[in-house]
Amino acid sequence: MDPRIHEHSLTFKEEKENDGPPQFCKGCLEPLFGPHYTCDTCDKWSTGYKFNIHKSCAELPIEIRHSIHPEHPLILKNNLYSTCGVCKCNQSRRRGYILSYCCSECDFSIHVKCASNWQNVGHEHNFTILMQPIQFTCDVCGLVGEYDRQNFYLCNICQLLVHAKCSWLPLQVKIERHQHRLKLTWWFQDMYPKDQDFCDICSEKMDGNRAIYCCHDHECRGYTAHCKCIRKEGKFKNILVNDDDDEPSTSRRPPTDETTADDKPLQIEHFSHPHMLTLIDGQEVARQDGQDEGITCNGCTLPIMRSESYRSCTELAIEKPCNFSLHINCAKLPRKRLLPLHEHELTLLPTASSVGGVFKCHMCESLSQGFSYHCEECEECDYYLDIYCSILYERRTLRCDAHVHTLRFSTKLVSCNSCGTHKKNFCFRCGSERCNFQLCISCVKLPLTVRYKYDDHPLKLTYASVKTELDEYYCDICEGIRDSKHWFYSCPDCDFECHPDCIRGTYPQVKLGGSYKHDDHQHDVALVYKRKSGIPNDKREHLLPCSECFMICKGLVCECLECGINFHRRHYWLFNDPIPD
């Protein structure tokens, strides 16, 4: 036993002896039942005094951080004459209540039982107006008390010192930029002390001792905001605590009444597809059919893992399956979303308004063919956002097996540790000042496993190469040199290694070869990838000049097989993205 709790050694007992008067725990004052410790020395020397303590009370942490006194740590002590800062009574003088959590820097203590029963969220503060003018820092907004030079407000229970404007805050609010209601939390460090430590509105760092508004919905991964940022929003709805109305629903159609055991509906209607989407157990399908082919999500265009459930269309269209599937999360995306990345509200589109539905994501700068969030108000910039990028931005934090620390969203990229590229836009970087680890958005989106048609095993994303005697590394697909410091895909069983671009392609989120109609051309056109061959005089190299500008067509281009012509996408599409070499 720690000497700060009791000076003698204690004896462990499973049950209290039935003879004699009832005994109480010296830690929590509850009746002594079950496993406990007792002091034989005090029982022998002191007449009428017995030291007994529950096993759970004896194993309490010696030092804690508590929201009632966030400024300093509290130490568990044998404090006989302390007055509790919550219940304002000194029970120790009456019944031997001796254990309290005490602050070594302040004259503050709290009974063990009061500390355990304390509720942080929703605490109704009884503020007292103090007329003495002093300079202080508001415990809610963090600003120096210049707004109230004549008075300020103090909660005697938890020592909360606030401005007059901050003395009343609605316990729940609803803002336009987030789909769920936000609940008031008086101390940020109690809710999200490890991962997210920034505001989702201003992106500035949170102070663990300040009040915040946060979303408790599990899909939002801890959306948080400063109180001052909520106030600056201007337009927010105050929601009563006993308001039991449902959360504002997204624009998805209601699901059917039939549900599974985990409350997931078996079938739903989705705005992007004319047929019902059925919940599919990926493991069960693979076990029955023995298929090893991957399924691609029509929303994010990323593979659907065999071990996860997904939604798929089981109807037949012209005696053929629709082959329409969605991740569970992709099927639950809201139709409208307001993100700080753009000034206007974004609308979810199943297909972009271009040939083949291909768009360029503003965040990762990659071409994609799946669902997108689009700004319908900006005609000149034609703003598109990949749905996976929108999810990454809302999470704002990332855990990666290649790095020990949490990665945080940033707008400054020096050099990607995965591919070595230098991009000016967005990235995820290590929050530790000692590390210089950062990843571009394209590398963050790399799948952990991929399939190669000439390998029977799945290729795994690998972060570091094993040092060889020759210190030379090559890609087994393009046979080019591979940087050992950059990520790659490998199969340890076959000793196979390759570049991510070689196995996934230059445009992994675009379906090449499909036929698409276009209003400005009489025939269907196909999306094809044209590049210059590295072999001199390669006859397989079939680069044609653009039928509009007469420059060589390279990269992702449109091709009409009936006319035998190629043309750049920029001549036909709404946006003008750079043509890769």
Percentage of the chain with pLDDT > 70?
68
Task: Say what the pLDDT of residue 120 is.
Answer: 41
Percentage of the chain with pLDDT > 90?
7
The whole-angstrom separation of Cα 263 and Cα 237 is: 30
Phi, psi of 56 (to 5 degrees): -65, -35
The whole-angstrom separation of Cα 275 and Cα 317 is: 10
pTM of this structure: 0.56
Q: What is the pLDDT of residues 424-436, one digit of tens each?
A: 678 898 877 678 8
Phi, psi of 425 (to 5 degrees): -85, -125
Mean pLDDT computed over 28-45: 77
Mean pLDDT computed over 550-556: 76
The whole-angstrom separation of Cα 199 and Cα 222 is: 10
Sequence ranges of the domains in the chain: 11-117, 120-248, 267-331, 336-392, 396-444, 446-509, 515-571
The whole-angstrom separation of Cα 117 and Cα 59 is: 17
Q: CA of 453: how far to CAs of 23, 102, 296, 401, 459, in Å?
A: 74, 66, 16, 27, 11
205, pLDDT greater than 90: no
Tokens read off for 87: 């219940």
| Cβ burial, residue 48 (10 Å; 0-12/13-18/19+) | exposed
304 contacts: CB under 8 Å, gap ≥ 6:
282, 294, 295, 296, 297, 310, 325, 327
Q: Pick 527 or 257 by higher pLDDT.
A: 527
| Selection from 23-37, 195-209, 269-283 with the highest mean pLDDT | 269-283
249, pLDDT greater than 80: no
101, pLDDT greater than 70: yes
Task: Say what the pLDDT of residue 296 is.
Answer: 84
Residue 47 pairs in a beta bridge with none
Task: Say what the pLDDT of residue 175 is.
Answer: 80
The whole-angstrom separation of Cα 224 and Cα 140 is: 14
CATH code that applies to domain 446-509: 3.30.60
Q: Pick 548 or 120 by higher pLDDT.
A: 548
The whole-angstrom separation of Cα 272 and Cα 350 is: 6
Say which residue the tokens 């967005």 belong to. 426
Q: Which of 78-87, 206-215, 231-240, 377-386 has the lowest mean pLDDT?
A: 231-240
Q: What is the pLDDT of residues 379-400, one digit of tens each?
A: 776 889 999 998 888 877 888 8
* SS3 state of residue 315: coil
Task: Say what the pLDDT of residue 374 is.
Answer: 92
Q: Of 577, 222, 177, which Cα lies nearest the Cα of 364?
A: 577
pLDDT tier for residue 67 given thresholds of 50, 70 and 90 = low
